[in-house]
A and B are shown apart, each in its own frame.
Chain A
């Protein structure tokens, strides 16, 4: 099969439809070329995406010479020891298992009162500053940043620094030098924190240091992954979910009338919004026939598009519509397979508490600017809003 065309990733979204996957992804799976001309499969259907993410013939190891990267500079930045997100078993499992107990359902449930306090305090501060406010900077980012800082043992006072570097790191439009600079700064920052934690048993970073069998680079790489994944994803889900509910006021009213719907509503928002919108990358270790004419050759990259998989009409009837009362639990918003999001219990708890509290405490919440004026992070690996001006 010949390469069809080059696809810009992440793709732009259709005007007026900020919640729908880019039109360029809404197609059958196809072989395309990446920005550097390398061949790469775009996999868009639920069954194919799920199959690849559970198939060990597809590698997540970013050190593989043909691993697909979405922007320049990323390949060069992969060191000897990537984070566990970009490794295969047994290396992946070894690192991941060092952190699994911090994200157990019971452990996260025990954190709920503390999360509720953070949510209430953050909302108190936003309300005290007066209407209107930018929900992104006043609420959506502070809540998960405070939670993950506490869990990792990172000072929240540094949030402006790590949020800014995180934005540079996830922005595919930035040149390679900016990406490398952001990596260097964040890695240096976390290496310093890890060094200071030697012997102090508070937080995940201290725990990783105390094990004694990880290099400073390994602690920094995995700490960086948790720090970024711990706030960027939940923050963007919080602001985008709020906008989706403001655009579907009848469903927001249903949630206010029956708060027990919040858990299902969060699953549906995760499915409908799927903020990991540029796809999950893998490289084939051998030829794999995925059916429907998709034969991935050994060494070829694939991008598993979670956003289109989560709109699969066979699995989710009327999948392009938000329906907080549907059963959406089979969504792939956290990925699938052994790499499925480690922090998903925490993400769920934060979203459930942050959204339910916002709806309850600010029943008159509404957009403070016309919907058409909102601006989105289309070039970032994690989709979201730049600002969300709201009033109440």
Chain B
């Protein structure tokens, strides 16, 4: 998982979708990644979070395990 804080507009969609992976900074409201290699079982939620992000700030790369 990678996030681009420059593209984040603090909609909070990611936090609502996958709260164990994403958070929002109390200081500036920007997305914070809580884990950059989340478990594969979270993949559907993470894809939804990426699709819902209005700024296109969330990118997923699937790696072989």
A residues neighboring B (CB under 8 Å): 53-54, 93, 96-97, 100-101, 103-106, 329-330, 334-342, 344-345
In the bound complex, CA of A93 to CA of B15 (Å): 21
| Interface range on chain B (Cβ under 8 Å from partner) | 10 to 19
Do residues A100 and B10 form an inter-chain contact, with CB atoms below 8 A? Answer: yes
Bits for B3-35, please: 1 = Cβ < 8 Å to A, else 0: 000010111100110000000101111100000
Do residues B54 and A342 form an inter-chain contact, with CB atoms below 8 A? Answer: no
Name the prevailing secondary structure of the A interface residues.
helix
* CB neighbours of B54 from chain A (8 A): 53-54, 335-338, 340
Name the prevailing secondary structure of the B interface residues.
loop
* CB neighbours of A104 from chain B (8 A): 10, 12, 24, 26, 29
B residues neighboring A (CB under 8 Å): 7, 9-12, 15-16, 24, 26-30, 48, 51-52, 54-56
* CB neighbours of A340 from chain B (8 A): 9, 11, 54
Do residues A105 and B27 form an inter-chain contact, with CB atoms below 8 A? Answer: no
Do residues B26 and A105 form an inter-chain contact, with CB atoms below 8 A? Answer: no
Which listed residue, A53, A54, A100, A337, touches B28 by the CB 8 Å rule?
A100
Do residues B28 and A96 form an inter-chain contact, with CB atoms below 8 A? Answer: no
Do residues A342 and B48 form an inter-chain contact, with CB atoms below 8 A? Answer: no
A96-B9, A100-B10, A104-B10 as given contacts; A338 in contact with B27, CB under 8 Å: no
Do residues A105 and B52 form an inter-chain contact, with CB atoms below 8 A? Answer: no
* CB neighbours of B9 from chain A (8 A): 93, 96, 100, 337-340
A100-B28, A101-B26, A101-B27 as given contacts; A330 in contact with B12, CB under 8 Å: no
In the bound complex, CA of A329 to CA of B7 (Å): 21
A104-B24, A105-B15 as given contacts; A338 in contact with B55, CB under 8 Å: yes
In the bound complex, CA of A96 to CA of B54 (Å): 15
In the bound complex, CA of A32 to CA of B30 (Å): 39
